[in-house]
Structure 1
Amino acid sequence: MIDLILSVCLLADPGTCREEHLHYESRGSLAQCMMLAMPYVAQWAGEHPRWTVKTWRCDWPQREGQPT
């Protein structure tokens, strides 16, 4: 599993931002995730028209009880 983390802000209030986590199964590396992320980012943006995606990154999901 890889965690695609989007930093998104509300279009009507650009100061209101949050992170969205999209999980998907991948056997590749984080670098491959970044190269292949655009369709997932575009899909999320299309499904959430009130929000704009500012940045995204890939990371391994945090395990329960593991420090962040």
Structure 2
Amino acid sequence: MIELLFVACLSTSPDACEERSLLFTDITPMTCMMGAQPELAKWTEQHPAYTVSRWSCHMLRQGEQKT
């Protein structure tokens, strides 16, 4: 499983940030890196109060899945 981990900050309060993630089961880490910006653009369209400040892709190890 691949995790697209990103930091989302409130547009009105840039110091109010939190980690968020999107999980993918059918892609590689390289595919995640290449497709992250369009996925994050979709996320910000659905969450207009937030901006994304940074992001990364990595493989989740078994037992590491977030709930």
- Which TM-score applies when normalising by structure 1? 0.79
Give 4+ residue runs of structure 1 displaced > 4 Å after superposition.
Answer: none
Identity of aligned residues (%): 34
Number of residues of Structure 1 aligned to a counterpart in Structure 2: 64
SS at match of 1:46: helix
Which sections of structure 2, spanning at least 5 residues, go unmatched?
A: none
Structure 1 Cα separation of the partners of residues 15 and 54 of structure 2: 15
The answer as to 2:36 corresponding to 1:4 is: no
Structure 1 Cα separation of the partners of residues 13 and 52 of structure 2: 13
The answer as to 2:22 corresponding to 1:31 is: no
Q: CA RMSD in A?
A: 1.6
Which sections of structure 1, spanning at least 5 residues, go unmatched?
A: none
